[in-house]
Amino acid sequence: VPSHFTLSNGKKIPSIGLGTWQSKPGEVKAAVEAALKSGYRHIDCAWGYGNENEVGEGIKASGVPREEIWITSKLFEYHHEPKYVEMALKDTLKKLGVDYLDLYLMHWNICFQVDAPEGELPLKEHLVKNDEGTVKLNVPLSDDVTPTWQALEACVEKGLTKAIGVSNLNINRTKQVLKIAKIKPVANQVELSIQCPQPELVSWLQKNDILPCAYSPLGGTDGQKLRENETVVKIAEKHNVQGATVLISWLLKRGICVLPKSVTPSRIESNLKTVDLSEEDFQAIEKLAESHPPNRVCDQSTLYDPHYDIYQEKS
Ligand code: A2P
């Protein structure tokens, strides 16, 4: 079971990271501290999660030196205009209390229309709405990633982040980034689990030397049915581990970086454990993962579709 994956830029990323999406303020500082103290060296954050201040407090409280930790964050949909990209990254750095990121991802290949005072970073209250009250998209920047990607490349050149990547992109949209990139995306973070296995996207990314990273690997808040699936439980019992461990180990064996979220110290610790699945057990879970259409924890279709082809199965 790999402890690290090597990215196309030669850097080694720890294969399991702590997810922080939906980790509430008041919980996430302790979660990050517990994770780092129990051996995690990879924390996955995002400006859009609204909790990076506390994540930073947890990093500080852990006492683990910055250079030992892999930190990923993400550029939010409010901040794709080139003039905001560096400002947004610097805001994240300030909140996290660090002076560089290891990886900065474009959170979605979608940009919202914003109207913020000169020199200020756009917040939720600066979103421009359509007549019916829905958020207005910045269509040119949502259709063409080039200006945003070039601003992200400038952040690498300035040393604000060691690498850049993408998140929530299907094959076509990732291809568009590759076509114009001088600095290639090293990773694509998407939802991956037995209920959303995305085999076509995963193998395409791997062929193109882009690391697939899995959010909601346990099926999110509704994940009990995944952890308690009969096949998963049978394999877990054989190894005397939790169902969650089997779900994580299966993704690792597919060559995917895994980002389980938890704010519960015992689960955080347990999610770092892995088992080496036999070929037979691996295939049994592969089969399970084929047996239904993708079921997403995070489905933004109503916000972005039908104009945008975000999801692989709809592209
Ligand atoms: P909590 O954070 O309260 O501990 P995902 O990573 O797929 O988004 O799943 C996150 C959800 O799964 C959270 O509700 C989290 O709860 C729960 N969870 C995380 N790890 C485990 C585990 N080992 N066993 C059971 N539930 C878990």
The answer to whether 107 is a known ligand-binding residue is: yes
> Where is 70: in which H helix or E strand?
strand 70-75
Give pTM, 2 decimals: 0.96
Q: Tell me which residues have their CB closer than 6 angstroms to ligand 1.
A: 19, 216-221, 223, 227, 242, 244, 260-264, 267, 270-271
- Which residues pair with residue 43 across a beta bridge? 18, 71
What does the block give as tokens for 117? 């005072």
**Whose Cα sits closest to atom 13 in ligand 1?**
221
Instruction: Using the mean position of ligand 1's atoms as its centre, give its distance from the Cα of residue 244 in Å.
Output: 8
Domains of the chain, start order = 13-314 (3.20.20.100)
User: Dihedral (C-alpha) 218, 222, 228, 229: value to the nearest 10 degrees?
Assistant: -80
Ordered per-residue pLDDT tens for the chain, 315 residues: 999 999 999 999 999 999 999 998 899 999 999 999 999 999 999 999 999 999 999 999 999 999 999 999 999 999 999 999 999 999 999 999 999 999 999 999 999 999 999 999 999 999 999 888 888 999 999 999 999 999 999 999 999 999 999 999 999 999 999 999 999 999 999 999 999 999 999 999 999 999 999 999 999 998 999 999 999 999 999 999 999 999 999 999 999 999 999 999 999 999 999 999 999 999 999 999 987 778 898 887 766 655 677 777 766
Give me ligand 1 centre to Cα 262, in Å. Answer: 5
- Best residue for ligand 1 mutational test, from 192, 267, 268, 275 (most atoms within 8 Å of Cβ): 267
For ligand 1, atom 19, name the residue with the nearest CA. 262
Whether 177 contacts 169, CB under 8 Å: yes
SS3 assignment, position 241: coil
| ipTM attached to this prediction | 0.99
Could you write out the DSSP letters of every residue in 2-66? -SEEE-TTS-EEESB-EE-TTPPTTTHHHHHHHHHHTT--EEE--GGGT-HHHHHHHHHHH---G
The answer to whether 311 is a known catalytic residue is: no
How far does the centroid of ligand 1 lie from the alpha carbon of residue 203, in Å?
Answer: 26
